[in-house]
Amino acid sequence: SLNTERHEYDVVVIGAGGAGLRAAIEARQQGKKTAIVCKSLFGKAHTVMAEGGAAAAMGNVNPADNWQVHFRDTMRGGKFLNNWRMAELHAKEAPDRVWELEAWGALFDRTKDGKISQRNFGGHEYPRLAHVGDRTGLELIRTLQQRVVALQQEDYEKHGDYEAYIKVFAECTITRLLKDGERISGAFGYWRESGNFVLFDSPTVVLATGGIGKSYVVTSNSWEYTGDGHALALLAGANLINMEFIQFHPTGMVWPPSVRGILVTESVRGDGGVLRNSEGKRFMFDYIPDVFKDKYATTEEEGDRWYTDQANNRRPPELLPRDEVARAINAEVKAGRGSPQGGVFLDVSTRLPAEEIKKRLPSMHHQFKELADVDITAEPMQVGPTCHYIMGGVEVDADTGAAAVPGLFAAGEVSGGMHGSNRLGGNSLSDLLVFGRRAGAGAAAYVDSLEARPKVLPELVEEARQEALAPLGRDGENPYEVHHELQRTMNDLVGIIRKAEEVSEALQVVEKLKERVQVVGAAGSRIYNPGWHLAIDLRNMVLVSQCVARAALLREESRGGHTRDDFPGMDPEWRRKLLVCSTEDGFTVKVEEKLQPSMRDDLITLFDRDELKKYLTDEEMAEFDGISK
């Protein structure tokens, strides 16, 4: 380990998406020497792909909006399983975070009177998403990067070194967190290009690594999203919660295989696209749940009229909430009425003139032409559900982002609790800003509280080195094959609809894969070797998949992003319970039930009794009646 490159920081942020950048800015603004480490190029994170906008109750378009309304919407969206303190902080602070972005140079779309414009989105009672056309995530990242550069320029003025207080380590993957006793003392990783190791000596680590999508064969996530942060936290002794809740987007591409899962925007349906099965039937009319019966058209004629006359007709069922549409597509395919490539048909070509399609959906037109050789102005697309977002993640203190391990913090998609069982669109971008800032501040305060700096123990560095090197040159299991089997297993058996037998079967497969991961081998050298990188990532994906499957098997109800065929209803008893994943040996996942703390009186009384009845137990209702008197 003597040859390992070594850096000393106060705060090491892993991940350069919205959460990581906002955390790093905060830590630096509080005077801490901060590193930003990211696996891919600087600027290439999922945050860039977000289109819709950042939800914040600024009340610019409808003055009736306020944090209480946003809080209620978020709790409803998550089916009341959310960490209510996080939902409260998020609703209260999102507007300030958006205004702050503007002060740092973000150019949001405007209302007529010059305020930041806000758009409607599913589950939000009022127009609430601050946006920049359909590229809000790009503007968010651009602005945060610009802020990092501005801070570096300040540091240059003062210290003669741009990187004196904030430095970016791009294309650098962290594989281990280091501890001194109970406390974090650093992080270990490798440069992807050279394969050389790098060691960060730091009393704090902020995880901001995003999602886990690459454990599923069909996903909208890109290659980096192998659940690294989730696994690093587990291995360091922290807990993960809500891991059974995964958001599947109804429409991803299904063909060709190389692009399977890439997102097909909801706007296709918004602009008239209809879903059909192999028999040519518009099947969504068969899948309108009772609670929505009065809000959706029951005939094709009425649904069609809605596009031109929304006042006098109900919307077509293709525009039901995402989870409903995803389940319906899944059911059609499972019943043998799928399209040739295993999805269903999404057709806009018979609905709009070609010129109109090219005008309204230019990127979709381009995407299908380039990637699938399909002309969407002349023929239907084939689409199916795609693994999109994980609600579950590191259990953190709402106010500071602190995990159970001293010195460890988490924010953004890698953290859990905020979104409960289901995330509302637009609530992710605001989540990143609110809790990124809080985690950065939490880490800075923790550094200040330390009397002595925890030490990097050489034997742990050596262990991390050995672990990373192990697959290299080993004549063992092929990492691509192991990965593919894991992805197929999770996709087919712990996907959008789950049942006990299938999830149990998946767990058996994962048990075997765990053993195989121990002996994966990658040929070639350390220099830019993707097979080796995947071999290292597999440890994380297998751990995270175990969490998802174990929790999915235990939760015997259906709620948000967890649908059990054998337990179709929502159960108030289960709402109170979190499933907490941890590991002692780094190999076997333990899952325990834990009761959620009851909601504070001033928050629960924001809801009507009739609504609460749908979610709370009788015991909780009695308590509510006590306080609301």
Residues annotated catalytic, as ranges: 322
In DSSP notation, 208-231 reads -----GGGSSSBS--TT-S-HHHH
**Piece in contact with ligand FAD (CB under 6 A), picked from 16-24, 316-324, 352-360, 582-590:** 16-24
User: Which of 521, 533, 532, 492 has its CA nearest to residue 509?
Assistant: 492
Among 25, 27, 35, 45, binds ligand FAD (CB under 6 A): 45
Q: State yes or no: residue 422 binds ligand FAD (CB under 6 A).
A: no
Whether the ω angle into residue 256 lies within 30 degrees of 0, i.e. cis, is yes
Close Cβ partners of 371 (under 8 Å, ≥ 6 residues apart)? 253, 256, 259, 262
Among 35, 89, 101, 208, binds ligand FAD (CB under 6 A): 208
- What does the CA dihedral 437, 410, 493, 614 come to, rounded to 10 degrees? -60
Cα 426 to Cα 158: distance, rounded to the nearest angstrom: 38
**371 or 621: whose CB is closer to ligand FAD?**
371
Q: State yes or no: residue 73 binds ligand FAD (CB under 6 A).
A: no
Q: State yes or no: residue 491 binds ligand FAD (CB under 6 A).
A: no
SS (H, E, C) 7-64: EECCEEEECCCHHHHHHHHHHHHCCCCEEEEECCCCCCCHHHHCCCCEECCCCCCCCC
Q: State yes or no: residue 244 binds ligand FAD (CB under 6 A).
A: no
Give the CB-nearest residue to ligand FAD: 17
Cα diameter, the chain: 74
User: Which of 196, 208, 201, 202 has its CA nearest to residue 232?
Assistant: 208
Q: Residue 5, Cβ neighbours under 10 Å: how many?
A: 11
Nearest distance from C-beta of residue 593 to ligand FAD, angstroms = 27
Among 205, 319, 429, 522, binds ligand FAD (CB under 6 A): 429
User: Which of 72, 50, 64 has its CA nearest to residue 130?
Assistant: 50
**412 or 440: whose CB is closer to ligand FAD?**
412
**Piece in contact with ligand FAD (CB under 6 A), picked from 49-57, 144-152, 153-161, 468-476:** 49-57
Total number of residues binding ligand FAD (CB under 6 A)?
Answer: 39
**306 or 409: whose CB is closer to ligand FAD?**
409
**324 or 413: whose CB is closer to ligand FAD?**
413
Structural tokens at position 321: 């909430």
Residue type, 513: L
**Piece in contact with ligand FAD (CB under 6 A), picked from 8-16, 69-77, 485-493, 589-597:** 8-16
- Per CB under 6 A, contacts with ligand FAD among 162-181 are 173-174
Nearest distance from C-beta of residue 53 to ligand FAD, angstroms = 7
Q: State yes or no: residue 186 binds ligand FAD (CB under 6 A).
A: no
User: Which of 185, 586, 236, 618 has its CA nearest to residue 404?
Assistant: 236
Q: State yes or no: residue 139 binds ligand FAD (CB under 6 A).
A: no
Structural tokens at position 240: 């993960």
Nearest distance from C-beta of residue 389 to ligand FAD, angstroms = 5
Q: What residues make contact with ligand FAD under the rule CB under 6 A?
A: 14-20, 37-40, 45-47, 49-52, 137, 173-174, 208-210, 220-221, 224, 228-229, 263, 389, 412-414, 425-426, 428-429, 432
